[in-house]
Amino acid sequence: MPIYEFVCEQCQGLMELLVKNREEQIDLRCPDCGSRELQRVVSRVNSVVAEGSPQGGVAAPSVENRSCPSGTCSTVTLPGHSRSS
């Protein structure tokens, strides 16, 4: 269940919205002033890394830049669990 963040264009208040399912109909209004002029913002992300990584320390995130049809693309790899088996 994703949590989305919005900022109110009228009062600059910040609100969070937990979306339980895609089909849910939501009346988006600022809880502070009641305005419907909301802009979705990019949320901050935290990652927790377990101690004792194979290198003996905490691994740092890495960034890989490559060429894409639209210009330059980047892939950010965060330390922690991987999907590979």
DSSP string spanning 52-73?
Answer: --TTSSPPPPEEEEEEETTEEE
Tally the C-alpha atoms within 13 A of residue 14's C-alpha that lie toward its C-beta: 6
Mean pLDDT across the chain: 76
Structure tokens at 44: 């901050």
Q: Is residue 8 part of a domain?
A: yes
**Half-sphere exposure (Cβ direction) of 73: Cα atoms closer than 13 Å:** 6
Residue 34 inside a domain? The answer is: yes
47 within a domain of the structure (yes/no): no
75: in domain: no
- 28 falls within a domain: yes
> Is 7 a member of any domain?
yes
Q: Which domain does 11 fall in, by range?
A: 3-41
The percentage of the chain sitting over the pLDDT mark of 90, rounded to a whole number, equals: 15
Specify the pTM: 0.48
**Residue 35 domain-assigned (yes or no):** yes
Cα separation, 71 vs 69, in Å, equals 6
Question: Looking at residue 50, what is its pLDDT?
Answer: 57
- 50 domain-assigned: no
Total count of domains within the chain: 1
Which residues make beta-bridge pairs with 75? 64
